[in-house]
Structure formats: C-alpha cells, structure tokens
Amino acid sequence: MGLSVYRTDYRRVMEEHTCNTCGSNDLVTISITVDGQDLSFTACHNCQTKWWLRDGQRVALESVLDLVAST
Ligand SMILES: [Zn+2]
C-alpha cells in the first residue's frame, strides 16, 4: 500500500541523514547524477566523516571514482 511504501522510504531517508559515526543530523549532502545513477556525497559537520551513496547504498569512494572514470 502507498502508506507503507512511504514509511519505508521515509525511514531510509532518515538513516541516510544521520551520521553513522556520531549520530549527528547536522549533515551537508550534494547530489549528482553520473551515467544515469544517482550519487550523493554527504559530510558530517560534527565529526567530519564523509561518505557516498549510490542509489541509497553507501559505497566506497573508490567505486565512485571508477564510475566517474568510466563515463
Ligand atoms: Zn558525524
């Protein structure tokens, strides 16, 4: 049902906007599209942790660079 889908998406978004290292919500996110895939870079203001998401999954910086280099 639509409501449950919305709830699932909402929970996923909340996880993406909480720092895994310190639990802070004080994050900055930059979203880009590379080769049709949504990539977002997030950095935590509190502890300076940085990470990438590809289609909602955390990915290593190396795999992002491979994707960009292959285009
Ligand atoms: Zn943090």
pLDDT tens digits, 48-67: 999 898 887 888 888 888 88
CA–CA gap between residue 1 and residue 68 (Å, rounded):
37
* 71 secondary structure, DSSP code: -
pLDDT in tens, 1-53: 455 555 555 555 545 678 989 999 999 988 888 888 888 889 999 999 998 98
Question: How close is the Cα of 32 to the center of ligand 1, in Å?
Answer: 22
pTM, entire model: 0.64
Q: Which alpha helices (DSSP H) does 1-71 contain, by range?
A: 2-16, 61-69
Question: How close is the Cα of 3 to the center of ligand 1, in Å?
Answer: 31
Question: How close is the Cα of 8 to the center of ligand 1, in Å?
Answer: 23
